[in-house]
Amino acid sequence: RKNKGGAFIYGNYRNYYGYRIDRNGGEDPRLEIFKKEWFAGKDCLDIGCNQGLVTIGIAMKFECQSILGVDIDKGLIDLANWNLRRISRTGNMAPESAKVHNSSDSTTKSCPEEVVSEMPNGNISKYEQPDLFEIVSFRSENFVQSKHKYAEQYDTIMCLSVTKWIHLNWGDDGIITLFVKIWSLLRPGGIFIMEPQPWTSYRKNRLVSESLPKKTSNISVYTLRNSGRYFWTR
C-alpha cells in the first residue's frame, strides 16, 4: 500500500527480494543461514511475507509441515500466490520473464529487468520436490490490527525486516501488540525468528510519509540492538 506520494509506508516494496540478492543470483542469503531443524516437520508462520519467495523457499528447502505467509498488501499476496503456482509447476524460484503479474494494481504488473536479474534464479530441483499446494498458503492481513482468530498455534514464527514498519506506523502499542500476538501463537518450545532493524534505519525511513514523523515522535520503546544472535523459545 502506498501513500499519496507513492511511498510504500509499510515497507511493502515490490521486487524487495531483488535488493537482497547479488547480481550473480543464488538464493536469499537468509535461507543460507537458517537451520533445517528450525522448520523440518513444523507448522510455520511468516509475518510480512512480501511476494512469498522466502516462504516458498523454506517449504522447498527445509521440508516444513506447513507454512502460512501473511502480508498487509493484497497486491503482494496476489503475487505470492502467482509465484506459488509457477514454482510448483517449474521448480524454479526465478521469474520466467520480467512481467510477472497481471493485477488491477499496476505497481505489481512488472519487474524491471535489472531487478529480475538480481532475484533468486537457482533451480530448486536439487531439493526433493514437495507438493507445495499442500504446504504453503498466503493471506492478506494486517497482523497487528486484525481480529482474525488463528485456528492453531505454530512451532516457528518469522518476522523478517518487519518490526521497524510496524513500530513506525503503530508506535509502541503496535510493536507490543505484535510480540504479544506472536507469543500467544507460539506452541510450547516454539521458535521466534526476528530480523532486527537498526535505529538508523528508523531515522532514514520515517520521512517516507507525512504522517510517520508524528507517529515516531511518540516512540519510546526501542527495538532490539543488533548485538548478536538470540533464541526466543516458549
Q: What pLDDT does 37 receive?
A: 97
Round to whole Å and give the CA distance between 190 and 163: 19
- Residue 228, classified by CB atoms within 10 Å of its CB into exposed (0-12), middle (13-18) or buried (19+), is exposed
Tell me the mean pLDDT in the region 178-186: 94
Confidence tier at 141 by pLDDT (50, 70, 90): very high
Q: What pLDDT does 231 receive?
A: 52
Confidence tier at 229 by pLDDT (50, 70, 90): low
User: What is the Cα Rg of the chain in Å?
Assistant: 17
Going along the chain, which residue ranges are E strands?
43-47, 66-71, 136-140, 154-160, 186-195, 232-233
Dihedral, CA of residue 217, residue 219, residue 225 and residue 230, to nearest 10: -160
Tell me the mean pLDDT in the region 199-217: 55
Residue 6 predicted with pLDDT over 90: no
Q: What pLDDT does 94 receive?
A: 65
Residue ranges of domains in the chain: 38-91+129-207
Fold classification of 38-91+129-207 (topology level): Rossmann fold (3.40.50)
Residue 213 predicted with pLDDT over 60: no
Q: What pLDDT does 148 receive?
A: 75
| Range 115-118, long-range pairs (CB < 8 A, 24+ positions) | 115/15, 115/18, 116/15, 116/18, 117/23, 117/25, 118/18, 118/19, 118/21, 118/22, 118/23, 118/25
CB 168 within 8 A of CB 144: no
Q: What pLDDT does 219 receive?
A: 61
Per-residue model confidence as pLDDT tens digits over 85-120: 999 998 877 644 334 443 344 344 344 333 333 344
CB 68 within 8 A of CB 138: yes
Average pLDDT value over all residues in the chain: 74
Residue % of the chain over a pLDDT of 70: 58
Q: pTM for the full model?
A: 0.71
Confidence tier at 4 by pLDDT (50, 70, 90): very low
Round to whole Å and give the CA distance between 130 and 127: 9
For the record, the C-alpha cell of 59 comes out as 517449504
Best-predicted range by mean pLDDT among 60-69, 209-218, 225-234?
A: 60-69
Q: What pLDDT does 70 receive?
A: 96
Q: What pLDDT does 106 receive?
A: 37
The residue with greater pLDDT, 136 or 17, is: 136
Tell me the mean pLDDT in the region 173-201: 88
Residue 73 predicted with pLDDT over 50: yes
- Give the SS3 label for residue 142: coil
Tell me the mean pLDDT in the region 61-87: 95
Residue 36 predicted with pLDDT over 60: yes
